[in-house]
Structure 1
Amino acid sequence: MNCSDAREGLFESFNQLVEIEVCRHREMVPENNKLLRCFQYIKMDAVSVGDYCWNGDCTNCQIWYRAEDGEIKSALACRLYVRPGMVITGLSANLRIDLTE
């Protein structure tokens, strides 16, 4: 079974939405996708026109997340795949503006 979405072709194939926490807000996003695509799923218009290179060169999509060992780590949202229960503890200034306004 594959989830159908009006934005088909934009996201990697997924069977379900998974819950993540983004700066204390719970969100449902498509599994098997990089975080920047998941953020686009949450706020399509803002992230779609944001200043992101989508390939790791600009670092405008930097995030901080709680790793499975409990340590806070940084990563680029365009390179890191979402995992169920993921906790995003911080967002770059660009992402913070695009996701919260």
Structure 2
Amino acid sequence: MEKMEWREGLFESFGRLVEIEVCQSTFKVPENNKLLRCFQFIKMETISFGDYCWNGDCANCRVWYRTEKGEEKSALACKHYVRDGMVITGLSGSLMTDWGD
């Protein structure tokens, strides 16, 4: 995989991109990374400057997702790791604002 020098050190080590769905849109993001970093991978400019503590204190990065068993759960994107095929069904107000779509 070609290295993107401006992103080097920002993400956990990864060997491939995995596919996730965020509010009915599909994206490829780096495996072995927390969701908030994956969102930053997708929307570098807005997520990087968003109102997030990156350590679980503010809860501005809350997401709702579907488990592999089909249950709806919530988690903090700064604490929860991505998985291949993950379906994110909802984003917090802060994430929605920074997502911009």
Deviations 1:27-51 (A, max 9, x none): 1100000000000000001000000
Number of aligned positions between the proteins: 100
Q: 1:46 and 1:39 mapped to 2: Cα distance?
A: 10
1:56–1:78: 8 Å Cα contact kept in structure 2?
Answer: yes
What TM-score results when the alignment is normalised by the length of structure 1?
A: 0.95
Superposition pairs of residues 1-101 of structure 1, within 5 angstroms: 4-6=3-5, 7-101=7-101
Listed one character per residue, the Cα deviations across residues 38-93 of structure 1 (whole Å, up to 9, x for unaligned) are 00000001000000000000000000000111000000000000000000000000
Counterpart residue type for residue 12 of structure 1: E
Corresponding residue SS for 1:18: strand
TM-score, with length taken from structure 2: 0.95
Question: 1:62 and 1:52 mapped to 2: Cα distance?
Answer: 10
Structure 1: unaligned runs, 5 residues or longer: none
Cα 1:33–1:3, aligned 2, differ >3 Å: closer, same or farther?
A: farther
Q: Is the 8 A contact 1:43 1:99 kept in 2?
A: yes
Structure 2, unmatched stretches of 5+, are none
> Equivalent pairs: percent with the same residue?
67
- Where does structure 1 differ by over 2 angstroms across 4 or more consecutive aligned residues? none
Counterpart amino acid of residue 64 in structure 1: W
